Amino acid sequence: MRKESFRKMTAVALAGVMTAATLAGCGGSAKKEVKGGSAKTESNAKGDNNLRVTVQAWMMGKYDFEGAKSSFEKNHPGVTVTYNQVDNVDVTTSMLEWSQGKTSCDIAIGGDRSQTVPYASNDYIVEFTDDNFFNGDFTKDKFYDTFLENGNIEGKQFMIPLLGEVVGIVCNIPMMKEAGLVDDKGEIIPAKDWNELYEYAKKLTKDGQTGFGIDWGANMMLYTYEACLNGVAGTIFKDDDKTMDFTGDKVKGLMETWKKLVDDGYTTTDVFADMDANRTQFKSGQLAMHLAPASRWIEAGENLGAENVGVMPVPGTDEHGSLNYIHGMVIPKVSKNQDLAIQFMKEELLKDSFQQGAINGYGKMSPLKAHYDNLDNKYWPEVLKFTENAITAPLYKDTTKLDTYIQTEVQQYLTGAESVDDFQTRMDEYIGKLDLSNGMS
């Protein structure tokens, strides 16, 4: 009898503990929605000296974040820097946290303003002003305008660029030389227009070697289209200067050239399934030209030899500018370490030695002009030329929908499932239905 009572009590106690644990795990303090307007900018005096930085995992391999951490901790005794690696920018998680007045980071690195708009419209992130950031060695004129623009929404800077990318054509120089496409100095002769580029691709395609790879993958489709269109047309917009253009002869000409490249076998569509297919092929020496972020030119040097890789502008972008994008840094307003976060960004993440490693090793462009003074590679002036004039992607509330539509329709067109007229008509219809406001109101 005693044994049975003991067993029952143990069972009840166990059930009670499990219930309590479940409830404790699920529950939390009473949630108050913290709108940014009421959240004050906290001074560092209230922080806990543990600076938490959320970083995308791929960045850890390309930048010396551990070095930055050691240096900052040495210069600021008592301060600890902790990194939280994530796979990708996770707007949903950040929104959930910050709306509840909590944050798991003091600096969130990754993405550009299209991912930042939801935060900014809900007043969850700090605005960088002349007072709190753009002063001393970090005044706005020290930055590339095009990179800063990628973190600017309605004239307010909500994101500071950590690195920038610009779209260009990365080339395998020995292959280009064999095809007679380099000059006497051994430098690539840039293609003047898409007809010439088609001829280049034709000359460069042979057994075991693809002439040209265009980044039509999920991560780059919209950027590729914008860069190419800006090159041929000098703008990516219709006459209203706001709606992206999918109609007109320039677009038709561009799309038809792309189709011809695919149909004639000078370009592959492997990127539809594997967005890194062209990158892999280029680095393994099976692709002659690769329309991609220009940083691939430095990155491929590790496999092919730095002297064997060069870059040329997408036709027309040397005159009209290419397209650039960034990976930037934001500070949540609920962070209690805002001042410390800004110090870390300025002292470590934007310092010369931190940026130089990534510039020289991977071609990741620094947002600061001073970091380009002593670079070795002879193609940097070319890249900087089409960066300075580069445009930024338009900021639409429905950018993610546009991104999906253009991927789908380009794939349909290039696989022969629809005509170029269908493509233009459908894309024009789609963009007509989208919300082209920036999402701030």
Partner 1 sequence: MKMGYRKKSMLAGYAFAAPGMIFAVLYMGYPLLRSFYLSFTNYNFAFDSQPALCGLENYINMFKDSYFLDSFRNTAVFTLAFFPSLMILSLIIALLLDKGVKGSGIYRTCIFMSMVVPLSLTGIIFQWIFNNQYGLLNSVLTQIFGLKSWTHNWLGEGKWAMFSIIVVSLWKNMGMLVIFFMAGLANIPDDIIEAAKIDGSNSIQTTFRIILPNLKESYIVCGVWAIIQSVKVFEQPFVMTNGGPGTSTLVLYQYTWQNAFKYYEMGYASAIGYFMGIIILILSAINMFANRDKNVDEVKSKRKRKGVVSHAE
Residues forming the site for partner 1 (CB under 8 A): 8, 11-12, 15-16, 18-19, 21-23, 26, 91-92, 95, 117-118, 121, 210, 218, 268-270, 272-275, 277, 281, 286, 397-398, 400-401, 404, 407-409, 411-412, 414-415, 417, 439
Nearer to partner 1, 228 or 277 (CB): 277
Helices assigned H by DSSP within 208-337: 221-233, 248-263, 277-283, 296-304, 317-320
Distance in angstroms (rounded) separating the CA atoms of residues 348 and 371: 14
First CA to last CA distance, the chain:
71
User: Least distance to partner 1 from the beta carbon of 82, Å?
Assistant: 27
Distance in angstroms (rounded) separating the CA atoms of residues 282 and 293: 13
Nearer to partner 1, 164 or 332 (CB): 332
Nearer to partner 1, 66 or 154 (CB): 154
User: Least distance to partner 1 from the beta carbon of 227, Å?
Assistant: 21
User: Least distance to partner 1 from the beta carbon of 398, Å?
Assistant: 8
Nearer to partner 1, 130 or 276 (CB): 276
127: number of Cβ within 10 Å: 17
Nearer to partner 1, 80 or 415 (CB): 415
Distance in angstroms (rounded) separating the CA atoms of residues 150 and 79: 31
Strands (E), 267-363: 287-293, 309-312, 323-330
Nearer to partner 1, 22 or 135 (CB): 22
Distance in angstroms (rounded) separating the CA atoms of residues 354 and 61: 13
Give the DSSP letter string of 101-121: T--S-SEEE---HHHHHHHHH
Only one residue has tokens 């008592």, namely 78
Nearer to partner 1, 12 or 189 (CB): 12
User: Least distance to partner 1 from the beta carbon of 257, Å?
Assistant: 19
User: Least distance to partner 1 from the beta carbon of 363, Å?
Assistant: 24
247: CB partners within 8 A, 6+ apart: 238, 424, 428
CB–CB of 290/282 below 8 Å?
yes
CB–CB of 186/262 below 8 Å?
no
User: Least distance to partner 1 from the beta carbon of 15, Å?
Assistant: 4
Distance in angstroms (rounded) separating the CA atoms of residues 36 and 57: 29
Nearer to partner 1, 49 or 286 (CB): 286
Nearest to 225 by CA among 405, 367, 64, 5: 405
User: Least distance to partner 1 from the beta carbon of 250, Å?
Assistant: 24
- Burial bucket for residue 404 (CB in 10 Å: 0-12, 13-18, 19+): middle
Nearer to partner 1, 135 or 437 (CB): 437
Nearer to partner 1, 42 or 398 (CB): 398
User: CA torsion sign, 399 to 402 to 406 to 412?
Assistant: positive
Distance in angstroms (rounded) separating the CA atoms of residues 255 and 282: 23
User: Least distance to partner 1 from the beta carbon of 391, Å?
Assistant: 24
Strands (E), 3-62: 50-56
